[in-house]
Each structure stands twice: as structure tokens, then as C-alpha cells.
């Protein structure tokens, strides 16, 4: 399992803890880097000032020795520098640039040419500085000092270690506080998700969430309870209407049967009358069955529209409440990327994981909104092969899944909204891939139905299939057979397909795979009447 999938599939408490600890770690890491850089810059400046002061003192004391050409006195003056252990080399040059006296307490020696008078130079291990020796306005020579950076390195490492220890202690305390405080966020969300799964699995709209909170989770729970209340009321009303309609149909059927009996009695002597009575009975039975079917379809459509209407209210609330914090997190990650340009690869990898998870969360919110608020399509003329090709570029196909395309070149073009139909086939391809966790064949076929003037595009997987009792409920909101998900993907497929003048149907055999077929209006080929 990749790190991105591990983060995405982890429980909310683990993700909250990981995000908080990762943010704290990155912040402390940035602080340590900034403090170390500041200490390095300040230490260098301080060393330059101190070494310049030493050079001034030595130069002042060595001026008489240079003036009277007293090399012994100059050497004794330099020897006094042994009281400063950081100075590893010192030399006095006369005004002709000749070495006049030297001080070398260790084997460091002169590691480089002296810098020009009045300048200094840093290396990885030392600081070299040169100052003019001036007496009554006359340049007598140059004093050159070289100081080791060991003390500066020790101070920086010492301060960094102390800062790192403080950071680890702070992260530990933050982890402890997060563990104690995150229950107030995790438990209500987990309980609300459990109630939603129960409603989706059992279709029991009498369940209610018991939360009484003043935050966003409490508002979401209240809206969800109101949605369940309305759906339950609509179900009761529909049940009463169905019962009333069945009584009317039964009464009408009884009346018609009585009429048929009278007709049979009156026309008993006529074979033609008997045949007519038989035909009327068959027509009556067919009409009763057709009417019953229409009533059931009307009821299912009313339930579906009511669920979508109530779900729209939840979608609006969720979209408003989640997009703002997602935007804040996205901006925070962008700021961290700008600040931590020199961070190691692991830091950037975790930042990319957070960016992907934020994008995935935003896509979930968009799917939730699209399932209840279909935008008017912006149709364009395009080929079927182009549409499928662009869709596959946006899909993640595991290595174990083999995609087989059967799209003839001579198919007529279609006029659809490219973005909406790409979303339709993206959802169907993703469902096919999810149905084959161990790998398999995913076939995408297209054919022309000339009699109907349509193009039929099918997505067939070799997965486990769909149980027969679930086929009739696939396109209902909040119904899903997956362990993860809230049952909106196929709702979006149906809404967008119908918005583009098409239709979608499903065929499945348990244990052998599933086939989704999208039928779209075809445009005539160029040059064809």
C-alpha cells in the first residue's frame, strides 16, 4: 500500500494526529533552520568585530617595532596572542610586503594568501583578516590574523541541539494534548457516519442521530435528522396513496368483472360474444398490470426526487462547511512549500500527500454537489474515440487491470458536454476497477444503433458482479454496495446522462461481471443525408 493510500484510508483520528504532528514538525524544523542561520550570521559578524579589535590592538603595539625595525619586539607582541586560543596564526608584514614577524602556536599554519589590507575572508575552518598598521598617518605595514571557527561551530551545534530537544518536547506535549482533545471531533463524526451507513444499508429512515451540539457536526446531524424525517413522512404519504390507488383499482376491477359477468350471461349463446369477453378480460388484465407498474415507477421516482431534494440541502451545508477549512489547509501547505524550499525529500513527499488528500476531499464535495445540482450541458460535436481517450487519461488504472478498447473508426459523432460525459465514464471505469481488486479485464465497447439513431457505449468488467436484489436500487441516492462511499456515483452518472439526452442501463451476473451501457444521440456523418 502506497503512502498516499495509507493516509487516505486511515481513520480520522490518525489523519488528524498525523496532520497536526506533521505541521508542528515542519514548523519546528523551519524554526531550527532559521535560528541556526541567524546564529551563523551573527557569529560570523561577531568574530569579524572581535578579530578586527585584536588586529587594531596588535597593530598599535607593533608600530614602534616596525618603525625601529625591531623584529624581536614584534615577535614578542605577537606571542602575547597565545592568551587568545582561537587565533591559530598571526603575521606582521612591513610596508614593502615582506614578512616581518610571525606567530604560529599550532600546525594550522597559513592556509591561504592573506587578504588585502582592510578586508577579511571566511573559509570552512577559519577567518582571515588583514588591517593596516598606521602611525601618525604613515602606513608602516599590515597585521594579518587567522582565527579558527571551531568555537563558532560548537556554539551553533550546542544551540541547535537544545532547540531540537525543546522541539521534541513540544511535539510530545502537542501529541498528548491532541490525543486527549481529538475525541471531541472524532467520536461525533464516527457516530454520525455509523448512522448514515445504517440508513444506507437497511433503508431504515426511522433512525435518528442523538447529537445535541452547537458546532458544524451538530448542524450536520440536525440537517440529517430533518432529511430522514421528511423522507419518512414522504414514504408514509406514498404508502397511503398506494393503498388508496390499489383500493380504487380493486374496486374498478370488481366492477369491470361484474360487467363482464353480465355480458357473458347476455352473450352466452354467441361464440363471438364469448371471444369478445375473453379479449376484454385480457385487455383489462394488461391495463391493470400496466397501471400497477406505472404506479410503482411513479412512487420510485417520487422517492428518488425527494431524496435528491433533501440531499441537496445537506450537500449545500457540507460544501459550505468543508470547503473553507480545505482552502485554509491548502493555503497553509502552499506557504510551507514556499518557506521550506531547502527541506529534504520526505518533507516534500508528505506535503504532496496533504495536497492530494485535500484535492480528493474537494472532489468528494464536488461529486456530492453534482449529484443534486446538475449544471446545464454545453454540448460540442466530438467523436466517441476522442471522448473515451480523454477520459482514460484522467483515470488511474492498476497494473493488474487490462483495458481493452473496441471503438470502430466509422462511428458517427455525438453532441454532448465533454466535461459531463467524461465524468460519467470516469465514474463507470472507476466502479469497474473497484470491482476487480485482484485485477482482470476492463472492456470499453461502442456500436451504432442505426434504427434508433444512437450510439451505445458499454463498460464491461470481469469482477464479482452485482446481486440481483441490488440491481433495481443502483441509481437510488445513498445506496451503495461498497465498504467505502455514500452511494452518489451512479446518481451522478444517471443525472448527467439524462441531461445530455441519453439513457443508462445495467446488466450483471453474479460472479461473472457487470456491464453498464450509455446510449447517446448520434449525429449523421458528413455527406450522409
pLDDT in tens, 149-170: 888 888 889 888 888 888 888 8
Specify the higher pLDDT residue, 474 or 493.
493
Q: Is residue 165 part of a domain?
A: yes
Cβ(506)–Cβ(516) below 8 Å: yes
Phi, psi of 147 (to 5 degrees): -115, 140
pLDDT, mean of residues 118-131: 85
Answer whether residue 86 is part of any domain. Answer: yes
Same domain, 308 and 200: yes
What band does 113 get if pLDDT is binned at 50, 70 and 90? low
Confidence bin at 32 (pLDDT 50/70/90): confident
Kindly state whether residues 501 and 477 are assigned to the same domain. yes
6 domain residue, yes or no: no
pLDDT band at 177 (very low <50, low <70, confident <90, very high): confident
- 372 pLDDT exceeds 60? no
Q: Within 13 Å of residue 340, how many CA atoms lie on the same side as its CB? A: 24
Of 34-38, 270-274, 488-492, 499-503, where does mean pLDDT reach its minimum?
A: 270-274
Q: What is the pTM of this model?
A: 0.40
Task: Report the C-alpha gap between 456 and 29 in whole angstroms.
Answer: 57
Beta bridge partners of 517: 458, 505
Helix residue ranges per DSSP H, 203-344: 216-266, 271-339
* Mean residue pLDDT across the chain: 78
Confidence check: pLDDT of 3 > 60? no
> To 10 degrees, the CA torsion angle through 519, 477, 310, 201?
170
Cell numbers describing residue 287: 391495463
Quick one: 384 and 343 in the same domain?
no
Domain housing 277: 182-370
Range from 137-141, 188-192, 195-199, 416-420 carrying the lowest mean pLDDT: 188-192
Place of cell 446545464: 376
Contact 89, 145 (CB under 8 A): yes
pLDDT value of residue 458: 95
User: What residues contact residue 156 under an 8 Å CB cut-off, 6+ apart?
Assistant: 36, 39, 40, 43
> Is 102 domain-assigned?
yes
339 and 426 within one domain: no
pLDDT at 330 over 60: yes
Give the pLDDT mean for 210-219: 66
Q: SS in 3 state form for 171-234?
A: HHHHHHHHHHHCHHHHHHHHHHHHHHHHHHHHCCCCCCCCCCCCCHHHHHHHHHHHHHHHHHHH
In a domain, 13, yes or no: no
**pLDDT at residue 455 is higher than 50:** yes
Q: What is the pLDDT of residue 304?
A: 57
pLDDT of residue 528: 44
Q: Are 496 and 424 in contact (CB under 8 A)?
A: yes
The mean pLDDT value for 254-276 works out to 74
Any domain includes 258:
yes
pLDDT band for position 69 (50/70/90)?
confident
Torsion of CA 36, 37, 38, 41, to 10 degrees: 120
Most confident of 160-174, 334-348, 361-375: 160-174
Whole-number Cα distances in Å, 441 to 399, 400, 432, 463, 512: 11, 9, 9, 8, 11
Helices (H) and strands (E) in the chain, counts: 12, 12
Domain end point (choices 352, 370, 388) = 370
Q: State the CATH number of the domain containing residue 457.
A: 3.30.565.10
Q: pLDDT tens across 91-111, in order?
A: 999 888 888 989 888 765 555
pLDDT at 231 over 50: yes
Given 320, 352, 370, the domain boundary residue is 370
Q: What is the pLDDT of residue 520?
A: 93
Say if residues 357 and 363 touch (Cβ distance below 8 Å). no
Within this chain, do residues 134 and 220 fall inside the same structural domain, yes or no?
no
Question: pLDDT at position 459, please?
Answer: 94
Q: Which residue among 127, 148, 174 closes a domain?
A: 174
Alpha-carbon dihedral sign for residues 67, 72, 76, 78: positive
Predicted local distance difference test score (pLDDT) of residue 500: 92
Does residue 453 share a domain with residue 330? no
How high is the pLDDT of residue 503?
93
Same domain, 129 and 225: no
Contact between 190 and 12 under an 8 Å Cβ cutoff? The reply is: yes
Least Cα distance to 49 among 124, 141, 152, 186 occurs for: 152
pLDDT of residue 514: 92
What is the reported pLDDT for 529?
38
Residue 390 has a pLDDT of 92
pLDDT at 234: 81
Residue 347: what pLDDT?
Answer: 74
Q: Residues 204, 169: one domain?
A: no
Please identify which residue in the block is written with the cell numbers 493555503. 331
Strands 513-521 and 454-461: antiparallel
Look at the chain and report how many structural domains it folds into.
Answer: 3
Nearest to 128 by CA among 89, 84, 78: 89
Cα–Cα–Cα angle for 369, 373, 379, nearest 5°? Answer: 115
Same domain, 94 and 63: yes
CA distance 143 to 299: 101
Top-confidence residue, 45 or 487: 45
- The residue with greater pLDDT, 475 or 237, is 237
> What is the average pLDDT across 180-193?
66
Mean pLDDT to the nearest integer, 228-244: 80
- Which of the pair, 11 or 401, is modelled with greater confidence? 401
Is residue 143 helix, strand or coil?
strand
Domain of 100: which CATH number? 3.30.450.20
Distance from C-alpha of 407 to C-alpha of 413, rounded to nearest angstrom = 12
Question: In this structure, are 350 and 215 located in the same domain?
Answer: yes
Find the mean pLDDT for residues 267-296.
Answer: 71
Nearest CA to 358 out of 390, 336, 339 is that of 336
C-alpha cell at 390: 480523454
E-strand ranges in 412-470 read: 414-416, 440-449, 454-461
- Cβ proximity of 131 and 37 under 8 Å: no
User: Does the residue 130 lie in any domain?
Assistant: yes
| pLDDT above 80 (res 479) | no
Separation between Cα atoms, residue 316 and residue 48, nearest integer Å: 64
User: What's residue 527's pLDDT?
Assistant: 47
Instruction: Name the more confident of 446 and 139.
Output: 446
* Lowest mean pLDDT, pick from 59-63, 116-120, 181-185, 217-221: 181-185
Give the closest residue to 191 by CA, choosing from 172, 168, 217: 217
Contact present, 314 and 223 (Cβ < 8 Å): yes
Strand partners, 143: 92, 131
pLDDT at 457: 94
- Of the CA atoms within 13 Å of residue 345, those in its CB half-sphere come to 0
In this structure, are 206 and 307 located in the same domain?
yes
Tell me, yes or no, whether 399 lies in a domain.
yes
Q: Are residues 347 and 387 in the same domain?
A: no
Amino acid at each position: 500500500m502506497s503512502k498516499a493510500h495509507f493516509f487516505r484510508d486511515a481513520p480520522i483520528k490518525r489523519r488528524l494526529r498525523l496532520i497536526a504532528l506533521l505541521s508542528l514538525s515542519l514548523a519546528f524544523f523551519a524554526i531550527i533552520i532559521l535560528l541556526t542561520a541567524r546564529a551563523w550570521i551573527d557569529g560570523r559578524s561577531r568574530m569579524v568585530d572581535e578579530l578586527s579589535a585584536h588586529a587594531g590592538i596588535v597593530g598599535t603595539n607593533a608600530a614602534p617595532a616596525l618603525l625601529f625595525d625591531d623584529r624581536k619586539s614584534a615577535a614578542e607582541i605577537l606571542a602575547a596572542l597565545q592568551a587568545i586560543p582561537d587565533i591559530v596564526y598571526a603575521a606582521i608584514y612591513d610596508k614593502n610586503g615582506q614578512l616581518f614577524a610571525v606567530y604560529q602556536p599550532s600546525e594550522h599554519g597559513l592556509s591561504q594568501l592573506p587578504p588585502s589590507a582592510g578586508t577579511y575572508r571566511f573559509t570552512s575552518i577559519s577567518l582571515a583578516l588583514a588591517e593596516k598598521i598606521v602611525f601618525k598617518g604613515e602606513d608602516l605595514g599590515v597585521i594579518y590574523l587567522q582565527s579558527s571557527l571551531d568555537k563558532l561551530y560548537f556554539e551553533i551545534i550546542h544551540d541547535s541541539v537544545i532547540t531540537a530537544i525543546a522541539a521534541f518536547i513540544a511535539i510530545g506535549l502537542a501529541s498528548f494534548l491532541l490525543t486527549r482533545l481529538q475525541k471531541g471531533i472524532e467520536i461525533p463524526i464516527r457516530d454520525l457516519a455509523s448512522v448514515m451507513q445504517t440508513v444506507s444499508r437497511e433503508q431504515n429512515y426511522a433512525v435518528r442521530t442523538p447529537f445535541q451540539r452547537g458546532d458544524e457536526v451538530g448542524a450536520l446531524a440536525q440537517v440529517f435528522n430533518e432529511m430522514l424525517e421528511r423522507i419518512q413522512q414522504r414514504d408514509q404519504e406514498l404508502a397511503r396513496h398506494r393503498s388508496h390507488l390499489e383500493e380504487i383499482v380493486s374496486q374498478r376491477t370488481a366492477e369491470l368483472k361484474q360487467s363482464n359477468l353480465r355480458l357473458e350471461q347476455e352473450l352466452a349463446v354467441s361464440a363471438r360474444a364469448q371471444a369478445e369477453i375473453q379479449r376484454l378480460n385480457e385487455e383489462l388484465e394488461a391495463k391493470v398490470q400496466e397501471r400497477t407498474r406505472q404506479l410503482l415507477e411513479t412512487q420510485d421516482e417520487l422517492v428518488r426526487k425527494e431524496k435528491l431534494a433533501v440531499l441537496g440541502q445537506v450537500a449545500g451545508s457540507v460544501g459550505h462547511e468543508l470547503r473553507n477549512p480545505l482552502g485554509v489547509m491548502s493555503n497553509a501547505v502552499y506557504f510551507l512549500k514556499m518557506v521550506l524550499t531547502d527541506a529534504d525529500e520526505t518533507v516534500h513527499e508528505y506535503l504532496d500527500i496533504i495536497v492530494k488528500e485535500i484535492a480528493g476531499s474537494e472532489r468528494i464535495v464536488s461529486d456530492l454537489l453534482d449529484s443534486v445540482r446538475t449544471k446545464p450541458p454545453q454540448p460540442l460535436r466530438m467523436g466517441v474515440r476522442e471522448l473515451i481517450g480523454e477520459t482514460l487519461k484522467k483515470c488511474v488504472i492498476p497494473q493488474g487491470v487490462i483495458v481493452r478498447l473496441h471503438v470502430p473508426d466509422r462511428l458517427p459523432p455525438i453532441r454532448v458536454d465533454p466535461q459531463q460525459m467524461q465524468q460519467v465514464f470516469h465514474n463507470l471505469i472507476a466502479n469497474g476497477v473497484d470491482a476487480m481488486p485482484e485485477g482482470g479485464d476492463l472492456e470499453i465497447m461502442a456500436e451504432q444503433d442505426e434504427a434508433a439513431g444512437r450510439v451505445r457505449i458499454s463498460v464491461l468488467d470481469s469482477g464479482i458482479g452485482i446481486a440481483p436484489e441490488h440491481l433495481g436500487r443502483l441509481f437510488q441516492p445513498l445506496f451503495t454496495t461498497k465498504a467505502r462511499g455514500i452511494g452518489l456515483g451512479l446518481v451522478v452518472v444517471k443525472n448527467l446522462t439524462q441531461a445530455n439526452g441519453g439513457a443508462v442501463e445495467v446488466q450483471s451476473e453474479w460472479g461473472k461481471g457487470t456491464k453498464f451501457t450509455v446510449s447517446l444521440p448520434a449525429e449523421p456523418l458528413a455527406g450522409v443525408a
